[in-house]
């Protein structure tokens, strides 16, 4: 019997249409690059977005999330799934949600094959292409040598898992090697839990910007975005733009430049296709 296999690109999902459409755009570019059909499948949340929010992009339908997609695929006769995770680190989505969901389907729909590609930044080695991508995004803010920048802040969502935070720490160390010696690289998060046991996350972005503004009469800060798609924190109208705008309004000597998202750089397609090739 001929095996029927599907390749899917997954992210955590979002209630924002722009994030879902960005996942579809990236999957489309991967399909063109690899000459294989790759479906975009958010793990969660996207099914809560009204179909009309997508315009004509989804043909008047809501976006199917991972559980819905997999069940429909298995019912249609698919017996193999190749999953490319669009996640920086080995989050619980990769270690728990995906395998737990697929193992549950094995019990109700029979045995099928599945494989998950490596995350974008496997530890301990890191990922040079991702570091290069972050540096290229910074270069869009100024001249190539970043002479107009006094400080770079690498910011991510923040996680209660140290293993996820370790990814940002690794990338920060690699990104720092690209910067001129006089430009320090700091780290910040958008969310963190209270308590010293979560100090590994580092400071909140708003607290770090406040500190930099108090300690420097004039300072130009570049925000390096460890975010893939627009959402609640990142992108136009997100929390990061709001926090940076508030900080600059209250401190005239502070200037903040926000770099593009990781998902906006074509190098991400190269990296994701590398991950796909690893499981083909």
- Choosing from 50, 84, 119, the residue where a domain stops is 119
Pair (138, 242) in one structural domain: yes
CATH number at residue 196: 3.40.50.1400
Query: How does strand 80-85 pair with strand 113-116?
Result: parallel
| Residue 217 reports pLDDT greater than 80 | yes
Residue-number span of the structural domain to which 189 is assigned:
128-264
- Number of domains into which the chain is organized: 2
- Alpha-carbon 98 to chain mean position: 17
Do 60 and 169 share a domain, yes or no? no
- The answer to whether the pTM exceeds 0.85 is yes
**Are the CB atoms for 149 and 257 separated by under 8 Å?**
yes
Residue 205 lies in a domain: yes
Q: For residue 145, what pLDDT is reported?
A: 63
Single residue among 72, 98, 119 that ends a domain in this structure: 119
pLDDT at 119: 96
Order of strands, edge to edge, in the sheet holding 80-85?
A: 38-42, 5-11, 80-85, 113-116
Boundary of a domain, candidates 86, 119, 152: 119
Do 102 and 132 fall into the same domain? no
Q: Tell me the average pLDDT across 21-29.
A: 94
Say if residue 77 is in the same domain as residue 139: no
Whether 91 and 159 have beta carbons less than 8 Å apart is answered as: yes
Give buried/exposed letters for 226-235 (b at 16+ CB in 10 A, else e).
bbbbbbbbbb
Pair 109, 132 in one domain: no
Q: Give which of 278, 265, 192 is closest to 226, Cα–Cα.
A: 265
pLDDT at 215 over 80: yes
Q: Are residues 160 and 249 in the same domain?
A: yes
Domain match, 200 and 89 both: no
Q: Are residues 140 and 260 part of one domain?
A: yes
Please give the average per-residue pLDDT across 186-196, as a whole number. Answer: 89
- Residue 84 maps to a domain: yes
Mean pLDDT of 117-128: 95
Q: What is the pLDDT of residues 74-90, one digit of tens each?
A: 999 999 999 999 999 99
The confidence score (pLDDT) of residue 59 equals 66
Q: Tell whether 200 is covered by a domain.
A: yes
Residues 254 and 159 in one domain: yes
Return d(Cα 150, Cα 221) in angstroms, integer: 6
Average pLDDT, the chain: 91
273 assigned to some structural domain: no
Shared-domain flag, residues 230 and 134: yes
Burial classification of residue 160, based on how many CB atoms lie within 10 Å of its CB (0-12 exposed, 13-18 middle, 19 or more buried):
middle
Answer yes or no: is 271 within a domain.
no
**Which of 70-84, 87-101, 142-156, 181-195 is the least confident region?**
142-156
| pLDDT at position 25 over 60 | yes
For residues 228 and 199, membership in a common domain is answered with yes
């Amino acid at each position: 019997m001929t095996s029927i296999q599907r390749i899917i690109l997954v992210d955590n999902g979002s209630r924002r249409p722009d994030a879902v459409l960005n996942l579809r755009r990236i999957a489309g570019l991967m399909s063109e690059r690899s000459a294989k059909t790759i479906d975009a499948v958010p793990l969660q949340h996207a099914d809560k977005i009204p179909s009309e929010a997508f315009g004509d992009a989804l043909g008047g339908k809501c976006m199917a999330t991972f559980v819905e997609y997999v069940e429909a695929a298995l019912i249609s006769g698919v017996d193999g799934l190749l999953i490319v995770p669009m996640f920086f680190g080995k989050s619980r989505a990769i270690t728990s949600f995906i395998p737990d969901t697929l193992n549950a389907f094995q019990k109700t729909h029979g045995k099928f094959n599945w494989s998950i590609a490596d995350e974008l930044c496997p530890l301990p080695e890191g990922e040079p292409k991702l570091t290069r991508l972050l540096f290229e995004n910074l270069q869009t803010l100024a001249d190539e040598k970043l002479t107009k920048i006094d400080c770079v802040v690498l910011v991510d969502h923040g996680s209660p898992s140290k293993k996820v935070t370790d990814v940002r720490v690794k990338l920060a160390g690699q990104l720092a090697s690209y910067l001129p010696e006089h430009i320090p690289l700091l780290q910040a998060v958008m969310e963190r839990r209270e308590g010293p046991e979560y100090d590994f996350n580092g400071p909140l972005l708003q607290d770090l910007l406040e500190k930099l503004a108090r300690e420097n009469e004039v300072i130009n800060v570049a925000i390096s975005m460890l975010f893939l798609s627009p959402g609640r924190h990142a992108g136009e109208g997100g929390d990061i733009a709001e926090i940076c705008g508030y900080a600059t309004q209250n401190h005239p000597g502070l200037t903040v430049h926000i770099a593009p998202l990781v998902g906006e750089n074509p190098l991400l397609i190269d990296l994701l296709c590398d991950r796909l090739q690893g499981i083909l």
